Amino acid sequence: MRAEVNLVGLCCSVPQLIVYSKVKKMKENDVLEVVVERGSSQEQDVVMVIKKFGIDVVYTDEGDLRRYVIELPRARQKNLS
């Protein structure tokens, strides 16, 4: 399943909690795309969550936005619960 979460305009711990919850529920072959404002505190929060799960940070820039693509390494999928 492929899903997108647009976090533009959100602040505080909301982006972190959303991404954490979504990643925790991911299954094999799921892809999560997370859109944030480049250089923002929400971006820093999202990167921290991605790294906590041991996922490589992969992104593309789209103007003022940055799109992170999250795919779980197979070995890590069983360790998320």
User: 75 falls in which pLDDT band (50, 70, 90)?
Assistant: very low
Question: Using one digit for the tens of pLDDT, what is the confidence trace for 20-32?
Answer: 999 999 988 899 9
The verdict on residue 71 lying in a domain is: no
Distance separating alpha carbons of residues 63 and 26, to the nearest angstrom = 28
Could you say which DSSP state residue 10 is in? -
Distance separating alpha carbons of residues 28 and 26, to the nearest angstrom = 7
pTM (2 d.p.): 0.84
Beta bridge partners of 5: 34
Average pLDDT over residues 2-23: 93
The verdict on residue 72 lying in a domain is: no
Please give the tally of structural domains in the chain: 1
How do the residues of the chain divide into helix, strand and coil, expressed in percent and rounded to 5? 40, 30, 35
User: 80 falls in which pLDDT band (50, 70, 90)?
Assistant: low
The verdict on residue 19 lying in a domain is: yes
Q: Which domain holds residue 50?
A: 2-66
User: What CATH number should be reported for the domain holding residue 54?
Assistant: 3.30.110
Count of CB atoms situated within 10 Å of the CB of 8: 12
